């Protein structure tokens, strides 16, 4: 079964490269990039823990959204916009203007109703919360743990390598994700191998995308406020179709989604193990 998974992975994944970014160039990148923190969703699977997932306070006194902002702040980024709707006041109470974190946080409120991350980005562009000439990193509430180096710097270096080859956006992904059931190999009706919660080697989006300014026209043209829309269902498939979508792959073990109480328990165990609490 392991060999079958390996063959499957080889058929699906051929990794790209990343650009060597020097410090002087990095300063320019930092100053022309905005980090959009997607914090407007209802997080229904997280409702038994807290009404707003992003503002949930971890045992170290830090919220999930603050933990992600600090990840980018450590790499030099200081310009953030919070895309808010559900329980928006709780996000504002946690972040304020960002000064306590050493960054600047502005807010873009969904127009009248939740419009999804795609609509939220479009609205933020129309309102000027995201400058039309900025590079945009759209990051959801997933957490990055034990990353070997600088996650923000690496994803931007990967994006720049894609831009040099004609890409307009870069999806950040992992090599595979854990299958939540027991996997079976069946030969002539007989089970010949069993893998408990195997890593399924399908490249998986971990919730972060880097967009060059040229992508914003796609949001304007393709996304409507009439319904909730995610970039992954409209804009990103179009970019892939046009061969303008690059990828950057990070180690699977460094991605930790927090969608429900079980995921939160894993994050807390990680924090205890690595003295983050």
| Higher per-residue pLDDT: 274 or 67 | 67
| Higher per-residue pLDDT: 45 or 212 | 212
Instruction: Mark residue 79 as left, alpha or beta (left: phi above 0; alpha: psi -120 to 50; beta: remaining).
Output: beta
Distance separating alpha carbons of residues 265 and 84, to the nearest angstrom: 25
Q: What pLDDT is attached to residue 260?
A: 86
| pLDDT over threshold 70, residue 224 | yes
- Cβ 103 vs Cβ 79: under 8 Å: yes
pTM of the model: 0.93
Q: What pLDDT is attached to residue 151?
A: 97
Q: What pLDDT is attached to residue 42?
A: 66
- Name the β-bridge partners of 190: 187
| pLDDT over threshold 70, residue 44 | no
- Cβ 7 vs Cβ 202: under 8 Å: no
Contacts of residue 14, Cβ cutoff 8 Å, sequence gap at least 6: none
What average pLDDT does this structure show over 181-194?
94
What average pLDDT does this structure show over 80-88?
92
What average pLDDT does this structure show over 11-19?
91
Q: What pLDDT is attached to residue 208?
A: 97
Share of the chain above pLDDT 90, in %: 76
Distance separating alpha carbons of residues 35 and 136, to the nearest angstrom: 6
Closest CA to 111 of 234, 255, 229: 229
Distance separating alpha carbons of residues 185 and 265, to the nearest angstrom: 31
Residue 54 banded pLDDT, cuts 50, 70, 90 = confident
Q: Which fold has domain 20-172+205-252?
A: Spore Coat Polysaccharide Biosynthesis Protein SpsA; Chain A (3.90.550)
Q: Which helix (H) or strand (E) holds 221?
A: helix 216-222
Residue 71 banded pLDDT, cuts 50, 70, 90 = very high
| pLDDT over threshold 90, residue 68 | yes
Domain ranges of the chain: 20-172+205-252
What average pLDDT does this structure show over 194-198?
92
Distance separating alpha carbons of residues 72 and 85, to the nearest angstrom: 23
* SS3 call for 275: coil
- 123-170 per-position pLDDT tens digit: 999 999 999 999 999 999 899 999 999 999 999 999 999 999 999 999
- Cβ 245 vs Cβ 203: under 8 Å: no
| pLDDT over threshold 90, residue 21 | yes
Q: What pLDDT is attached to residue 50?
A: 76
Q: Compute how many other C-beta atoms are within 10 angstroms of the C-beta atom of residue 253.
A: 13
| pLDDT over threshold 90, residue 80 | yes
- 96-129 per-position pLDDT tens digit: 999 999 999 999 999 878 899 999 999 999 999 9
């Amino acid at each position: 079964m392991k060999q079958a998974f390996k063959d499957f992975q080889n058929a699906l994944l051929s990794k790209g490269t990343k650009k060597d970014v020097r410090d002087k160039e990095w300063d320019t990148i930092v100053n022309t990039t905005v980090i959009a923190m997607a914090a407007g969703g209802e997080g229904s699977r997280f409702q038994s823990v807290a009404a707003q997932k992003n503002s949930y306070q971890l045992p170290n006194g830090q919220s999930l959204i603050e933990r992600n902002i600090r990840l980018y702040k450590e790499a030099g980024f200081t310009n953030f916009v919070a895309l808010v709707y559900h329980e928006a006041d709780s996000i504002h109470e946690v972040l304020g203007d960002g000064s306590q974190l050493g960054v600047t946080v502005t807010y873009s409120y969904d127009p009248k109703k939740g419009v999804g991350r795609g609509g939220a980005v479009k609205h933020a562009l129309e309102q000027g919360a995201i400058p039309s000439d900025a590079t945009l990193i759209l990051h959801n509430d997933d957490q990055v743990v034990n990353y070997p180096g600088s996650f923000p710097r690496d994803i931007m270096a990967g994006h720049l390598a894609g831009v040099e080859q004609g890409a307009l956006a870069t999806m950040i992904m992992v090599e595979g994700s854990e299958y939540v059931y027991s996997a079976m190999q069946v030969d002539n009706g007989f089970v010949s191998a069993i893998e408990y919660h195997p890593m399924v080697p399908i490249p998986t989006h971990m919730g972060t995308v880097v967009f060059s300014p040229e992508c914003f026209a796609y949001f304007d043209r393709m996304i409507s406020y009439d319904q909730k829309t995610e970039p992954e269902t409209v804009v990103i498939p179009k970019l892939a179709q046009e061969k303008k979508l690059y990828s950057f792959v990070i180690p699977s073990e460094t991605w930790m989604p927090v969608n429900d109480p079980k995921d939160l328990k894993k994050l807390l165990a990680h924090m205890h193990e690595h003295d983050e609490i």
